[in-house]
Amino acid sequence: MKEVSYVMIKPEFANYPEVITEVEKRLTTAGLTIEEKGQIRYSEESAKKHYVAHVGKDFYPELEKYITSDVAYGMVVSGENAIAKIRELVGATKNPAEGTIRFDIPKQLGLELRITQNVIHASDCPESAKLEISIFHNILQSEKANEFIK
């Protein structure tokens, strides 16, 4: 079944062009299509909407601080069973396997594996994808409007 999902390279890692290139390559090599992409910056409000399932958890303040600390790189990705394929490519949040994005990229950059401040986010279900894509679009529109006003 064709699905649409959302992928975000998180702050810190979004500042490395080679990380963006590597993630895009892995997605397209897996037969997925990147429909839209762009650099964005999450506000506290958009972070709370994006991570609504985690607001109130003990790790959320650290996650919000990280996600709002710098620019991120968002992508709308489509393809057959896109959500499951992407999540397999991304790997687990805790103890990701070698060969996954969450394991390989920090190692390539000489960084430690981290749970909260990891490389990438990927939607976990169609409902999350729909919400996260709408947040991505809202941020893009807001940033374009701000550029126009300047």
Concatenating the DSSP letter of every residue in 75-119 gives: EEEEEETHHHHHHHHH--SSSPPTTSHHHHHHHHTT----STT-S
d(CA 122, CA 4): 11
Strand, helix or coil at 11?
coil
d(CA 114, CA 130): 27
The one catalytic residue among 50, 54, 121, 137: 121
Class of domain 2-149: alpha beta
Nearest by Cα to 70 from 24, 130, 13, 114 = 13
In what order do the strands lie in the sheet containing 33-40? Answer: 33-40, 72-80, 2-9, 120-122
What are the extents of the domains in the chain? 2-149
Q: In this predicted structure, what is the pLDDT of residue 108? A: 94
Q: In this predicted structure, what is the pLDDT of residue 150? A: 46
Q: In this predicted structure, what is the pLDDT of residue 145? A: 54
Q: In this predicted structure, what is the pLDDT of residue 114? A: 87
Q: In this predicted structure, what is the pLDDT of residue 148? A: 47
Q: Which amino acid is at 136?
A: F
- Token pair 């650290």: residue: 62
Q: Rounded to whole angstroms, what are the CA distances from 141 to 3, 19, 86, 136?
A: 23, 25, 25, 9
Q: In this predicted structure, what is the pLDDT of residue 113? A: 87
Nearest by Cα to 86 from 55, 128, 51, 49 = 128
Q: Is residue 121 flagged as an active site residue?
A: yes
Q: In this predicted structure, what is the pLDDT of residue 143? A: 64
- The mean pLDDT values, 10 residues at a time, for the chain of 150 residues are 97 96 98 97 96 94 96 98 98 95 95 89 97 96 60
